[in-house]
Structures are given as C-alpha cells and as structure tokens.
Structure 1
Amino acid sequence: MSVPADLTGLWRRELITTPDGGRDETTTVVWLQTSSWYADLRVPADRPARPGATCFADYSDAELLDLAAVQGFAGELSVGDGVCFWRRDLDYQPPSGVPDEGAFRLDGDLMIEDGIHTPYQEIWRRDPQSRGDLQAWRREDGLRVRAGGYFMDITEREFPLPPGATLAEIVQAALAAGDRATAIDALSMRISFGVIGPDGAWRITASTWPWLEGRTV
C-alpha cells in the first residue's frame, strides 16, 4: 500500500517529550519518507567531534561509546486509521522487540505523533525543499531514498546485533574485554543524510560515520 502523499518528504523533529518530564529539542532527527520506503537518523548534539579522523580507529574508547548513542533505522511504512507503523528492516541499534507505532495528527506541514507502545510525543515539521522526486533503491546490503533535494543512504553492517541489549552496552562490553575490533564492527553500519546541491552533487551533512560529513556520495 502506498504511503499517503501528505506524509511523504523530509520531516525534521522539533521536539520530543515524555510523561516523566523528559524533553529533547537538540538532537538532530531527520525522517525521509518516500511512497513506500523510509529512513531515519538521530544524532545527539553532544556526539564527539574528532577533526581529522578518517575511521573509527581514530576515536578513543570513550568516544566510541558516545558514538553508540546515535540512532537510525529504515524500512517500509504502513499507515491506517490515523496510525503509522514503521517496520525496521535495517536498524543501527539492536532489535528491541517493541513495535515502532504511533498515532498521528497532521496540520499542513506540521505533524504530532503520540507513541502507542511507549509513551512519548514528537513534533515534526516537513521541509518544503523535500517536495519533488520520491525515489527508493533497495539493495541486498542497504537502501537509498530521496525526497526532493534530500537523500539518505544506508549500508548494513556485515553481521546482525543480538537482541535485548543497546548498542552502547555491546560496545562497552567489547571495550571492557579489550576487543576494540568487535566494538568497531558493532558501530560499522553506515547511515548518511545529505543534500542534493544545484550542481547535482549529493553532499553528506550527518552520518553514523562522522568523518564522511561534508563529503559527496
């Protein structure tokens, strides 16, 4: 089933709140939705910066653990009766077992989403520059999606993560065992978001591989 046109495009999260008083309006969150496939990336504002880095090996153990706080996922969206269900075929974090499902209300380019299985409310706003071409390319090792002047590209890690733990817990356990290679492997899924410039270049502006930011695909 095709996703309704009023849900397609690039959505930026402005705010998330939870009943316990939690509030976040600093994390960079982008959700790019085509008529079927979608991709989502969430980068905390305090993610470590490492000028000159070219790979994960250039980061300290503490910085690798901080990088594990990034979130990102992709799959197909199902919509019905005012509810969105985001199927996570690709996920930077281990599978939690909790469905990603929320009730939504639209007011033009503003969307309010209320969690069904987890209590939260998110406020989203659609970017007007994302109107236009909607494209999706599914690969064996990942996905690329486009909406107007924006894109997201995902390449899966070579092995699945075990369910139940968070990525930070997996990375921390590997580092505690002195096994940086396993920690880096766990972080190796590449999710990049970017802008398609007037020159036709696809330039990355946010990524789970921070050293790619500013480069072209």
Structure 2
Amino acid sequence: MSTPVPSWLTASWERLWVINNNQGPPENTVNVRNIQTPTLFGDCRIPKDRPRYPEARSLADLSNAELATLYAQEGFSGYTTTEGYIITWHHEIDYQPPDGSIDIGRFEILGGRNVLEHGVQSSYLEHWWRLEDAGGYFLGIKVMRNLGNNQQRVHEILSVSGDHFIYARNRAFDLPMANNLADLIKKEKYSRKQILAVLDLEVSHGFVLGGRQPWEVQFSTLPFKEGRPLDFAQGIQVDPCTGQLGERKLAPDLIWSVPINTLGIEDLLVLFPPA
C-alpha cells in the first residue's frame, strides 16, 4: 500500500456497461460506482431492479423473501496495486464470499473520460466513465478491529475522491468459499438469524456535499441506508489545531489509520464540523 496508483486511475467512476464471456450485447442492469484514491478503493454494485424497501429501518424488518432480493448485490473495498495498465484490487471487505479468484483487469484508456477494462482471469469487458476528476482531493480511513493475540481484522474503510465516497463496514465473521452468496446460503441451510448476520455488511456510495444533505448515501447494500447521511461520517471529529482525524466515541478494540489525506484543516472542519 506504500506505492500510490497512477493519477489517471484516481477518480470516481461509473460502469456504463459490461459484456460477460465475450458474447452477447452490452448489459447495464446494475448501478456500479467505484472510488479510487491513491491507495484505498471502494466498489458498490446494486442491481437496478432491487427493491428499495422505504419502510424498513433494519434488515430484521424484511421478510425472508425480501432478504433474498439482497443476495445478488456486490460491494467490496480494500487497496489497489498496479503494474503498468494491469490493475489488481485487493478485497479486504467483500459482500460476496471468496471464490478463489483474483480481482484483476487490464485498462485501455480511450478518449475523454472513457476507459475499458478487460478481464485477465475471466472473460469480460467493461466500459467505465469518469464521473469526476477528484482535483487532488482524497481521503482514506481504515479501521481495524483488535482480535487479541496480535490478530487484527479490517472493520471499516472510507474512500473519498472529490465529492464522491464509498464506505464499507465488515460483517462480524469471514465467509467460507462459495460461488456466490445465494449458493452459500442455500448450501449451508442458514437459519433466518444466520442470514441476517451474513447480510449485515454495508457498502454504500454517496456524495460528500453534493447531495440533499452532507454525506448522503445514494446506493447501499443495506437499502434502508439510502437517502440518509452516512453514520460513520457523523462520528468523525477533527482536531482543529493538528487536523488529526478520529472517532468521537472510539471503541477500545478499534484501531484507526488514515492512509491517504490531501485535505487541509479548513476543508476537514467543513466535512466534519464540531458537534
């Protein structure tokens, strides 16, 4: 993570279409947003036909059938490494279970704000559009959970590029390998209580100040978060003298780090005003 990715990659991105297995017409059935800072990244993928469930306030408010509509979502976050135009996204938080593959693609830079991503381990072609050039304004926060015995686990990652953010919060446990979440839940015959725990992982995309309210969530793996301010941002405080970032009520087992921050104290105080 010590080597920043090239500047042409750092931005907020929208996937316009994908062709899988090098066959068929381009598809655009998923709202896909990607945030790339010089080190950390986030990716949020919500099917366009997924219901919004405006009356729900938690996963427990959804029926078993409604919970099943969340299985196909994708969201992941971690750090990025590059070798020329070969990009590898290292998932440290992932909504879907591990399947043994590596998230790696080859970028082809087109004109304007367009790039193509060619699959390296699998056959796909994706057309990406740069939503916004970050203008050099990046913020990345990583929170680790101390498990004891010198063991740590990634708990939260916030990636900010310009006016866009992706926030990821891990579930409480790691999933076993499987083709996808739906297959895993079916194979393991999870109870409703277990399914709620499996789905309790948040990956949210939104706008820092460009929404109807600061830190407004646009898309989220937790539907009841959409349209609301990001909870994680509400808990961040800034030391007005040093600009150091921290959580207002940091749990004793959580360890904060800020791998990337190009914002000045004045900007940070606007984004995270004193309580």
The within-5 A match list for 1:191-210 is 191-197=203-209, 201-210=214-223
Distance 1:152 1:81 in 2: 25
Instruction: Confirm whether residue 187 of structure 1 aligns to residue 199 of structure 2.
Output: yes
**Counterpart amino acid of 1:96?**
D
Aligned to 1:111: 115
Aligned length: 215
Aligned to 1:68: 71
Instruction: Confirm whether residue 155 of structure 1 aligns to residue 169 of structure 2.
Output: yes
Structure 1 position 192, deviation (Å):
1.1
CA RMSD of the aligned region, Å? 1.8
Unpaired segments ≥5 residues, structure 1: none
Aligned to 2:8: 6
Does the 8 A contact of 2:13 with 2:132 survive in 1? no
Does the 8 A contact of 1:87 with 1:100 survive in 2? yes
Aligned to 2:157: 143
Structure 1 position 167, deviation (Å):
1.1
**Counterpart amino acid of 2:117?**
E
Unpaired segments ≥5 residues, structure 2: 145-154, 231-275
Distance 2:176 2:157 in 1: 22
Give me the identity figure in percent.
31
Larger radius of gyration: 2
Structure 1 position 51, deviation (Å):
2.3
Distance 2:136 2:57 in 1: 34
SS of the counterpart of 1:24? coil
Does the 8 A contact of 2:178 with 2:184 survive in 1? no
The within-5 A match list for 1:31-70 is 31-70=34-73
Deviations 1:112-144 (A, max 9, x none): 000011100000011126434111001111100
Instruction: Confirm whether residue 125 of structure 1 aligns to residue 129 of structure 2.
Output: yes
Structure 1 position 71, deviation (Å):
0.2
Does the 8 A contact of 1:193 with 1:207 survive in 2? yes
Structure 1 position 200, deviation (Å):
7.4
Instruction: Confirm whether residue 215 of structure 1 aligns to residue 228 of structure 2.
Output: yes
**Counterpart amino acid of 1:216?**
P
Structure 1 position 106, deviation (Å):
1.1
The within-5 A match list for 1:74-85 is 74-85=77-88
Deviations 1:121-172 (A, max 9, x none): 0000111264341110011111001011111111100011111242112334
Q: TM-score, normalised by structure 1?
A: 0.93
Aligned to 2:31: 28
Structure 1 position 58, deviation (Å):
1.7
**Counterpart amino acid of 1:57?**
A
**Counterpart amino acid of 1:155?**
R
**Which moved further from structure 2: 162-171 or 118-127?**
162-171
Aligned to 2:182: 168
Decide which of 1, 15, 18 is 2:17's aligned counterpart. 15
Q: TM-score, normalised by structure 2?
A: 0.74
**Counterpart amino acid of 2:79?**
E
SS of the counterpart of 1:184? helix
